[in-house]
Structure 1
């Protein structure tokens, strides 16, 4: 397997977060408006989704072209965005796109739990180069992350079913990423406790 090519450290997060920002900005500008396309009236949420899908596809292809690698998480996210986002646009129904994070988090939680049951820690295989830890540390982190994904799936269902579209868009754009950042910050002690010894130690 070829080694991933190095790209500018700011370019990778820009390509990953950029499509979500595009969706957020477009939704906020179009949320109280409607657009007539092909004789059908579409609300701002659907228009933002319609733009978000090709932007995400393009950014993923650019990232792949520049780095030579796409993670399994990015592939799964892209497929689910195309499927659920496409259903929302095709059926003119926002609920399918709002369900997408739930499906993603349930998928990730299931895969992480399955990997532990099979005693093959896939998270460790994917992230071990970036975060060198002992096997026990990876086992603990995987269980915690699986539990977090389950909690996020439930949270997404509560927000999109019980709150406004604007609240859901804010939750998805800012709340979910912030929760992930806080999760890894809170696990800093775990990383330190189970870190692999450096050369000479």
Structure 2
């Protein structure tokens, strides 16, 4: 008789902690910018992003793909902002990160791959057609955010751009994901009930 070990349950993070990890660095960025300037805020953002990533890793024991990409770009462009004393680097980071992530998703579709499904397939039970549509829409949305950020950073002050970065983009993301709920519901897959013994 073989003794099978029960699989370890995956660690879970409460929604409040998850929200603090995801949004906390941006809120800190906004608050510090209001109290000091964009350079001090950028330094705070870098430290907060590293702390959030470390907290996520400690709690989940898993490297999240998309937050890892975002952290990498924030570290690169945030460091350039501080080293060169040019706030345009931290501003353009938003454009580059979103546009590249969008292009990455769309390129995957060209080769028949939904990287969105790879990242979130364990969270959402959606069929392949649903994942394809979600990936297409998110890819286009991210590229649009990159273009919009380029427009905003050229026509507004630093403080207004920071407000847009924190609240404008966050609001647009919320609107986008809420708008996808009908699509997700249409393509939800239902697990078949186990036969009664």
Q: TM-score scaled to structure 2, two decimals?
A: 0.90
Is 1:119 the counterpart of 2:125 in the alignment?
no
Distance 2:94 2:135 in 1: 19
Is 1:16 the counterpart of 2:22 in the alignment?
yes
1:121/1:139 contact within 8 Å kept: yes
| Cα offsets for 1:147-182 (capped at 9, x unmatched) | 101110000000011111111111111111111111
Aligned equivalent of 1:57: 50
* Superposition RMSD in Å: 1.6
Deviation at 1:7, TM superposition (A): 2.4
Is 1:162 the counterpart of 2:155 in the alignment?
yes
Deviation at 1:200, TM superposition (A): 3.4
Runs of at least 5 residues in structure 2 that lack an aligned partner in the other structure: 1-7
Is 1:189 the counterpart of 2:148 in the alignment?
no
Runs of at least 5 residues in structure 1 that lack an aligned partner in the other structure: 31-43
How many residue pairs align between the two structures?
187
Deviation at 1:9, TM superposition (A): 2.5
Is 1:173 the counterpart of 2:166 in the alignment?
yes
2:105/2:115 contact within 8 Å kept: yes
2:115/2:135 contact within 8 Å kept: no
Aligned equivalent of 2:125: 132
Distance 1:134 1:168 in 2: 38
Alignment of 1:53-92 (within 5 A): 53-92=46-85
Distance 2:31 2:72 in 1: 23
Q: TM-score scaled to structure 1, two decimals?
A: 0.88
